[in-house]
């Protein structure tokens, strides 16, 4: 593998890691507040569809972004009503949202565009364009650093950079603000938070809405940044990979970045090379596709650094039990 190929694969890994990253952070906020969310996949898919549709109608990707986030937040609120207000089973609610999203996106898409569930190809201002960072072209000639800066770091859409900013912001919110402290507390011991006079329900709904907004960014990037339009089932299990990354990262923002980059890199390598030789053994691409899940199971098994979820996760809060 030469240097240019390495840069190309890493560049592709960054793009593929971005939707994972947004979805992973979305799950992080939700699960840290004690709401399990296996509906990340459905929220991503819904926002991918609605962002692409609105971008196709209006020609503005920013309006698309708004619509995508709106759709995702709407589904997140259904999840919130089911799991917070009506104390339903959070896992079942997540499953339901995934089905709803995969059905509604195709049916409404067919009704709006009659393209077999797809949206029209997005062009120009209807997509997030690549941004060339300052001096990228001037520095390209510099050995090693030049290509890294010009091809790897520069030339992504704004959402890729926003993804990295979201990691820092999430860390700051969770560990350096009063809201973050309360959010983490409500996922560990909601009774204590309630006793302190802070609304458990309010905090959890806030976390759910943040989760919806971030999933909206993930789906919007899928349909308007990574691809140029929506196709059915385009989230293709990324919501579950993000869930795996979240466990892999042990519910921490910094590790979430590393996990998503790792899983993005695996996907990029799987796309680029059909077969990979490791020490003379041929590794099939299906193994590369399954690797994120296998790694997560290993981490979950606790053989390599145990992953312990937030203590109150999945439990509806009942005042004065």
Partner 1 sequence: MGRLPKWADVALIPLINLALALIVSGLVVLYIGENPIEAVAIMVNGAIGSTYGWGYTLYYATNFIFTGLAVAVAFHARLFNIGGEGQAGLGGLGVALVCLFIPWPHWTLALPAAILAGALFGAALAAVPAWLQAKRGSHIVITTIMFNFIASALLVYLLVNVLKKPGQMSPETARFPEGARLPSAHDMASWVGLDFSKSAPLNITFFIAILACVAVWFLIWRTRLGYQIRAFGHSEPAAVYAGINPVKITMVTMLISGALAGLMGINSVMGEAERLVIDSVQGAGFVGIAVALMGRSHPAGVFLAALLFGMLYQGGGELEFEKPAVSREMILVIQGLVILFTGALDNMVRMPLEGLFLRLRGGAR
Which residues lie near partner 1 (CB under 8 A)? 36, 38, 78, 81-83, 86-93, 95-104, 106-108, 110-111, 117, 232, 237, 240, 243-244, 247, 284, 286-287, 289-290, 293-294, 296-297, 300-302, 309
276: helix, strand or coil: strand
**Whose Cβ is closer to partner 1: residue 61's or residue 256's?**
256
DSSP classification of residue 124:
G
Distance from C-alpha of 183 to C-alpha of 181, rounded to nearest angstrom: 5
Burial 9-31 (b: 16+ CB within 10 A, else e): bbbbbbbbbbbbbbbbbbbbbbb
**Whose Cβ is closer to partner 1: residue 18's or residue 90's?**
90
Q: Provide the minimum distance between the beta carbon of 127 and partner 1 in the complex, in angstroms, as a whole number.
A: 26
Q: Provide the minimum distance between the beta carbon of 282 and partner 1 in the complex, in angstroms, as a whole number.
A: 10
DSSP of 255-266: HHHHHHHHHHHH
Q: Provide the minimum distance between the beta carbon of 267 and partner 1 in the complex, in angstroms, as a whole number.
A: 13
Q: Provide the minimum distance between the beta carbon of 22 and partner 1 in the complex, in angstroms, as a whole number.
A: 20
Tokens 């011991």 sit at which residue?
Answer: 189
**Whose Cβ is closer to partner 1: residue 11's or residue 267's?**
267
Q: Provide the minimum distance between the beta carbon of 10 and partner 1 in the complex, in angstroms, as a whole number.
A: 24
Q: Provide the minimum distance between the beta carbon of 174 and partner 1 in the complex, in angstroms, as a whole number.
A: 21
**Whose Cβ is closer to partner 1: residue 81's or residue 265's?**
81
121: helix, strand or coil: coil
Distance from C-alpha of 63 to C-alpha of 55, rounded to nearest angstrom: 6
**Whose Cβ is closer to partner 1: residue 11's or residue 41's?**
41
**Whose Cβ is closer to partner 1: residue 90's or residue 119's?**
90
Separation of first and last alpha carbons in the chain = 61
Q: What is each CA distance from 307 to 6, 40, 171, 254, 311, in whole angstroms? A: 32, 20, 19, 15, 12
Distance from C-alpha of 76 to C-alpha of 64, rounded to nearest angstrom: 18
């Amino acid at each position: 593998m030469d240097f240019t190929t390495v840069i190309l694969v890493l560049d592709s890994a960054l793009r593929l890691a971005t939707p994972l990253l947004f979805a992973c952070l979305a799950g992080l906020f939700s699960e840290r507040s004690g709401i399990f969310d296996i509906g990340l996949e459905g929220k991503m898919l819904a926002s991918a569809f609605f962002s692409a549709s609105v971008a196709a109608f209006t020609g503005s990707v920013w309006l698309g972004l708004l619509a995508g986030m709106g759709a995702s937040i709407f589904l997140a609120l259904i999840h919130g009503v089911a799991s917070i207000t009506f104390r339903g089973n959070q896992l079942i609610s997540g499953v339901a949202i995934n089905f709803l999203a995969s059905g509604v996106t195709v049916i409404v898409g067919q009704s709006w565009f009659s393209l077999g569930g797809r949206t029209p190809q997005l062009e120009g201002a209807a997509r997030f364009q690549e941004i060339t960072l300052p001096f990228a072209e001037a520095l390209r000639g510099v050995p090693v650093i030049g290509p890294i800066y010009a091809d790897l770091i520069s030339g992504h859409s704004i959402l890729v950079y926003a993804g990295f900013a979201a990691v820092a912001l999430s860390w700051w919110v969770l560990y350096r603000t009063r809201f973050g402290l309360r959010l983490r507390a409500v996922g560990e011991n909601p009774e204590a938070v309630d006793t302190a006079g802070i609304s458990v329900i309010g905090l959890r709904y806030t976390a759910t809405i943040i989760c919806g907004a971030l999933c909206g960014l993930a789906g919007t990037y899928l349909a308007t940044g990574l691809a140029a339009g929506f196709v059915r089932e385009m989230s293709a299990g990324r919501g579950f990979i993000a869930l795996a990354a979240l466990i892999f990262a042990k519910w921490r923002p910094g590790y979430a970045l590393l996990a998503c980059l790792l899983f993005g890199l695996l996907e990029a390598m799987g796309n680029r090379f059909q077969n990979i030789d490791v020490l003379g053994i041929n590794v099939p691409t299906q193994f590369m596709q399954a690797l994120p899940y296998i790694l997560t199971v290993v981490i979950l098994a606790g053989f390599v650094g145990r992953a312990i979820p937030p203590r109150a996760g999945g439990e509806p809060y009942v005042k004065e039990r």
